[in-house]
């Protein structure tokens, strides 16, 4: 990205909206993402693994020396549904192509709409469900089980899962003690990306605490650049903001209780988190204009376009933002850098998301595909293509095409079970995963009017009570 000299405009620093709450004991998260680990350019490289054949089985050997044995499936067909588009879909198709090569099966990717549970419901009602679906929420897995759509994993898939995943990742794919989901893809949702030239012009450093983040935002503002880009048109980005603040400030026990609706959204801990968020969302000119009309991809690209006068200096979201950074013609580690979401309490949060493979039509072929997706072999093929992180602990780190992805993946695996899964993804779809409804809508309204903390809590609680049935 070309940089040009400019005169820095000095503006009067605004007063933050509301006090920043005092720090409190927070999560037991693995703070393995040091500020300097993401300091290289993002470069993608392709490649896949070969496999030798025998009369009955196709024995596939991954780069890490692991093996997964798959049956011969000549003449059999499968459909796999997911909401993935663009490069994400293209790279997953490369994994499916390798499965076809090793087994002889034919696999068709079915583009799904969000929320995927509604999409699957229409397919099932029409008598044409896909064989396997990639579900992005534990709540969606539970719904699929309750509706008798999902089928349990067979012994081969369960064995592969047990060998390659920590207990925590196994648990979030299970319902009532039975294993239904394989979390093939994960995301670290505790990162803030920033325009390196903006920080240099402002004399700003990477913050480690919330108070330091507010000071950094003020320095960026005073240099003439709006501090934050927020993709408010996609309500899930706002739930991610809330979850990081809440986990660090209220702690993991409260986080778990709120995720299960064992405490109400009118709880004082929610008020405290919303008050903290209002310190950014409610400060005049701290959020780029038009946030409620800005989707997630645009929120990223507008932070890294416009030379040294972009629309904003920072954007919060997970490791997957790298795809959009590259689309903005910026280089990760040079133009775009990243730091862990700052600690609001004593420890920085680690919030994760992911997509799980769930079988809807039980068959030898469907079980084989999910077994393959639970293996290091499949994950390493996808890892080489970039923009992907696996919770599979036996994936060879060298499979990742750059140090950015490698360090994020290593930190995720190193955290073991010491992470918290995206709270909204654990909720019923009606509350935590539907555009224009529930938590997405309530936090969009809060972004529009950060003064209305009590009203936001009341709306969140009413919608949660209806969705959870209590």
Where does the pLDDT of residue 24 fall: very low under 50, low under 70, confident under 90, or very high at 90 and above? very low
Backbone angles phi, psi at 376, to 5 degrees: -60, -30
Residue, of 169 and 40, whose pLDDT is higher = 169
Q: Which of 373, 237, 222, 210 is nearest to 292 (CA)?
A: 237
All domains of the chain in start order, with CATH: 67-188+353-420 (3.40.190.10), 191-349+435-468 (3.40.190.10)
Where does the pLDDT of residue 137 fall: very low under 50, low under 70, confident under 90, or very high at 90 and above? confident
Residue 329 has pLDDT above 90, yes or no: yes
pTM of this structure: 0.75
Residue 383 has pLDDT above 60, yes or no: yes
Burial degree of 40 (CB within 10 A; 0-12, 13-18, 19+): middle
DSSP state of 449: -
For the residues of 197-250, what is the DSSP string, one character each? HHHHHHT----SBHHHHHHHHHHHHHTTS-SEE--TTSHHHHHHHHHHHHHHHH
Residue 463 has pLDDT above 70, yes or no: yes
Distance CA 270, CA 414 (A): 29
Distance CA 274, CA 280 (A): 10
Tokens of 352: 């994760």
Backbone angles phi, psi at 210, to 5 degrees: -65, -40
Query: What pLDDT, on a 0 to 100 scale, did the predictor assign at position 15?
Result: 40
Q: What is the mean pLDDT of residues 89-103?
A: 97
Distance CA 403, CA 351 (A): 21
Residue, of 403 and 399, whose pLDDT is higher = 399
Residue 40 has pLDDT above 80, yes or no: no
Query: What pLDDT, on a 0 to 100 scale, did the predictor assign at position 409?
Result: 87
Query: What pLDDT, on a 0 to 100 scale, did the predictor assign at position 96?
Result: 98
Query: What pLDDT, on a 0 to 100 scale, did the predictor assign at position 226?
Result: 98
Query: What pLDDT, on a 0 to 100 scale, did the predictor assign at position 308?
Result: 83
Residue 201 has pLDDT above 60, yes or no: yes
* Beta carbons within 10 angstroms of residue 206's beta carbon: 17
Q: What is the mean pLDDT of residues 293-317?
A: 96
Distance CA 23, CA 156 (A): 47
- Tens of pLDDT, residue by residue over 244-301, are 999 999 999 999 999 999 999 999 999 999 999 999 999 999 999 999 999 999 999 9
Backbone angles phi, psi at 222, to 5 degrees: -65, -20
Query: What pLDDT, on a 0 to 100 scale, did the predictor assign at position 209?
Result: 98
């Amino acid at each position: 990205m070309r940089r040009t000299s400019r005169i820095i405009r000095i503006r009067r620093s605004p007063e933050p909206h509301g006090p920043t709450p005092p720090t409190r004991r927070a999560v037991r998260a693995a703070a393995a993402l040091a500020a300097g680990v993401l300091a290289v350019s993002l470069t993608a490289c392709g490649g896949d693994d070969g496999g030798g054949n025998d009369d009955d089985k196709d024995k596939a050997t991954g780069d890490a020396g692991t093996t997964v044995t798959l049956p011969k499936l000549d003449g059999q067909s499968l459909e796999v549904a997911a909401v993935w588009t663009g490069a994400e879909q293209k790279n997953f198709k490369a994994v499916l192509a390798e499965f076809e090569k090793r087994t002889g099966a034919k696999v068709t990717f079915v583009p799904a709409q969000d929320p995927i549970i509604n999409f699957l419901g229409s397919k099932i009602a029409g008598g044409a469900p896909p064989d396997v679906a990639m579900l992005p929420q534990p709540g969606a897995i539970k719904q699929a089980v309750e509706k008798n759509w999902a089928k349990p994993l067979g012994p081969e898939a369960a064995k592969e899962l047990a060998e390659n995943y920590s207990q925590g990742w196994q648990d979030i794919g299970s319902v009532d003690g039975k294993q239904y989901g394989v979390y093939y893809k994960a995301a670290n949702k505790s990162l803030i990306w920033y325009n390196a030239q903006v920080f240099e012009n402002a004399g700003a450093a990477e913050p480690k605490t919330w108070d330091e983040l507010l000071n950094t935002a003020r320095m960026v503002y005073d240099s003439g650049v709006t501090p934050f880009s927020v993709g408010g048109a996609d309500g899930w980005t706002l739930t991610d903001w809330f979850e990081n603040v809440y986990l660090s400030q209220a702690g993991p026990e409260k986080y778990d209780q709120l995720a299960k609706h064992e405490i109400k959204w009118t709880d004082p801990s929610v008020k405290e988190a919303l008050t903290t968020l209002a310190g950014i969302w409610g400060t005049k000119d701290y959020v780029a204009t038009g946030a409620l009309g800005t989707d997630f991809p645009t929120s990223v690209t507008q932070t890294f376009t416009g030379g040294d006068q972009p629309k904003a200096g920072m954007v919060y979201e997970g490791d997957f933002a790298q795809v959009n950074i590259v689309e903005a013609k910026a280089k990760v580690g040079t133009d775009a850098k990243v730091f862990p979401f700052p600690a609001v309490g004593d420890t920085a949060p680690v919030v994760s998301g992911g997509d799980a493979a769930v079988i809807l039509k039980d068959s030898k072929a469907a079980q084989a595909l999910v077994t393959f997706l639970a293996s290091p072999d499949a994950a390493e093929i996808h890892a080489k293509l970039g923009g992907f992180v696996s919770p599979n602990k036996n994936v060879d780190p060298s499979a990742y095409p750059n140090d950015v992805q490698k360090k994020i993946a290593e930190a995720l695996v190193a955290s073991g079970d010491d992470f918290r899964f995206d709270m909204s993804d654990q909720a019923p779809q009606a509350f935590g995963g539907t555009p224009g409804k529930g938590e997405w809508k309530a936090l969009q309204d809060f972004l529009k009017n950060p003064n209305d903390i009590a009203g936001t809590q009341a709306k969140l609680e009413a919608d949660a009570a209806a969705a959870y049935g209590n």
